[in-house]
Amino acid sequence: MESDNKLMAMKSILLFVSLLTVLFSQAQTTISRQIIGSTGGSFNNATIDVNYSVGEAVITTVTSGPIILTQGFQQTDIGLAAIDEIEISHEITVYPNPTGGVLNIAFSENVAKNGTVNVRIYDLQGKLVFQGIENANASSGGMQLDLSSLHLGQYLVHFTDAEGTISRAKFVKF
């Protein structure tokens, strides 16, 4: 008799757990943008759409041509980000890659005719870690950079010659 009671209790617990599972699996979660504030509202017509809230921090809006950047807590639902294409006219080769210190750069065309090249090196977070004007070897169409002071990691190197032509490459420092 006692084993029947235990079996009945186990069946009841199993039924209860099954019902809870079914109930919670049917629940749907909806996440929507919300602002907790004391008051606010919106206004729109054919030419303008304004949303506001009282107590929201005011942060600047920057406009450049057709691009509008609004910073703050209320953001529009749809945004468009554009990146201007940079035409790269000169191919470059960096070696050895990965490098332990000295990086050799060879230009496919003789970019070095004017003698100097503006060099900028960025880490992968976009931080400028090296900038300088380097003399290029006009006879070999290349140059060497001593990068022994850089930390281990991946870097992007940008070259701009006197004519404003941009060349880029990626390398690893070990």
Q: Is residue 8 part of a domain?
A: no
Q: Is residue 126 domain-resident?
A: yes
Segments forming the whole domain that contains residue 122? 92-173
Q: Express each pLDDT in 67-99 by its tens digit.
A: 766 666 555 555 555 555 555 555 678 889 888
55: left (phi over 0), alpha (psi -120 to 50) or beta: left
At 95-152, the pLDDT tens digits run: 898 888 899 888 766 555 556 788 899 998 889 999 988 877 656 667 888 989 999 9
Q: Is residue 54 part of a domain?
A: no
Can you name the residues that pair with 116 across neighbouring β-strands?
135
Question: Per the domain annotation, does 120 fall within a domain?
Answer: yes
With contact defined as beta carbons under 8 Å apart, do 158 and 128 qualify? no
Q: What is the CATH number of the domain that holds 111?
A: 2.60.40.3080
Q: Is 112 a member of any domain?
A: yes
User: Quick one: pLDDT at residue 22?
Assistant: 73
Q: Single out the residue of 157, 147, 163, 152 nearest to residue 106, CA to CA.
A: 157
